């Protein structure tokens, strides 16, 4: 008997990087996965690997910045599976590295629509599917959910909002046995970190600066963050809700 046998799990932004790592870990622990993301080809490739260990899993394309696509996503989940036990709201947009007076307004709105409005709408649909049997939700925040972030104020603001959503929804649905937590990672070695490393045209120098922001002296691997999400979703964390868990190599301890 595996830890998540019989559980239906949604991971948004799961066609690559951290999201795919979380989805793969859940599948290996017995869950049936719904992969979701904007990139159809990447999603199909990811699904082909997941199906090897979780044969009833599926991929549903969804851009969470578009409310109509979120509605369609959850309609398909209910139609195919009839329930949802676990959810990881991982989809997000970094934006760019720029001081606030230089930050493009259009991009700022895109970051807000994805990271805040998109996560809010996903939470809204997730709790509807969990009201009867309960469940567990993990929102992926950031170390910048807990401290300021010079050079990307809008991203930090949206990740602060993730913590507010997490704590509020945890309080609203605790009586329905729905646990809601957030994981707040430092910088992870993924495609998203490449945006930061290449922002100033000096990736090696930038890497040293970023690694130095973490007292442990390095960036996180996707697997390290995924394991934290798995713990929050599982029975080992059955009395944990409303928590914003830093997994940041000591960044926010400074």
CATH number, domain containing residue 29:
3.40.50.720
Q: Is residue 72 part of a domain?
A: yes
Residue 238, token pair as written in the block: 């059955």
Q: What is the mean pLDDT of each run of 10 residues along the chain (254 residues)?
A: 97 96 98 97 97 98 98 98 99 94 98 98 99 98 96 97 99 99 94 74 86 93 97 98 98 91
Domain that holds residue 182: 8-187+226-247
Q: Alpha-carbon distance 60 to 54, whole Å?
A: 16
Q: Is residue 252 part of a domain?
A: no
Q: Is residue 242 part of a domain?
A: yes
Q: What kind and span of H or E run contains 233?
A: helix 222-233
Q: Is residue 201 part of a domain?
A: no
Residue 89, token pair as written in the block: 């709201």
Residue 68, token pair as written in the block: 């109509």
Q: Residue for token digits 């690694």?
A: 211
pLDDT per position as a tens digit, 178-215: 999 999 999 998 777 777 777 767 888 889 988 999 99
Could you tell me how far CA 196 lies from the centroid of its own chain? 18
Q: Alpha-carbon distance 6 to 4, whole Å?
A: 6
Starting from the edge strand earliest in sequence, which strands make up the sheet with 86-89, in order?
Answer: 58-61, 32-37, 8-12, 86-89, 135-140, 178-185, 244-247
Residue 229, token pair as written in the block: 């999400």
pLDDT per position as a tens digit, 31-43: 999 999 999 999 9
**How do strand 178-185 and strand 58-61 relate by DSSP bridges?**
unpaired
Q: Is residue 202 part of a domain?
A: no
> What is the model's pLDDT at position 134?
98
Q: Is residue 92 part of a domain?
A: yes
Structural domains of the chain, count: 1
Could you tell me how far CA 174 lies from the centroid of its own chain? 21
> What is the model's pLDDT at position 192?
72
The catalytic site residues sit at 155
Q: Is residue 67 part of a domain?
A: yes
Q: Is residue 220 part of a domain?
A: no
> What is the model's pLDDT at position 190?
79
DSSP 198-211: TTTS-HHHHHHHHH
């Amino acid at each position: 008997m595996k830890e998540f046998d019989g559980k239906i799990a949604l991971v948004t932004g799961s066609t690559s990087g951290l999201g795919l790592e979380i989805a793969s870990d859940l599948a290996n622990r017995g869950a049936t996965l719904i992969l979701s993301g904007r990139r159809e080809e990447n999603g199909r490739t990811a699904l082909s690997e997941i199906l090897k260990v979780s044969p009833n899993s599926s991929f549903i394309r969804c851009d969470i910045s578009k409310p109509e696509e979120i509605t369609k996503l959850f309609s398909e989940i209910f139609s195919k599976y009839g329930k949802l036990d676990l959810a990881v709201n991982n989809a997000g947009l970094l934006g760019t590295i720029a001081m606030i007076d230089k930050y493009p307004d259009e991009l700022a709105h895109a970051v807000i629509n994805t990271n805040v409005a998109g996560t809010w709408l996903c939470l809204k649909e997730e709790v509807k599917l969990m009201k009867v049997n309960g469940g567990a939700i993990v929102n992926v925040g950031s170390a910048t959910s807990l401290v300021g972030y010079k050079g990307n104020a809008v991203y930090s603001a949206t990740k602060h909002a993730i913590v507010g959503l997490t704590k509020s929804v945890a309080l609203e649905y605790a009586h329905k046995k729905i646990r809601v937590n957030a994981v707040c990672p430092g910088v992870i070695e993924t495609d998203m970190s490449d945006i930061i490393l290449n922002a100033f045209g000096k990736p090696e120098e930038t890497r040293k600066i970023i690694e130095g922001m973490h007292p442990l002296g390095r960036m996180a691997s996707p697997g390290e963050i995924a394991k934290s999400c798995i713990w929050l979703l599982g029975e080992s964390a059955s009395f944990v809700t409303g928590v914003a868990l830093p997994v940041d190599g000591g960044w926010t301890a400074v």
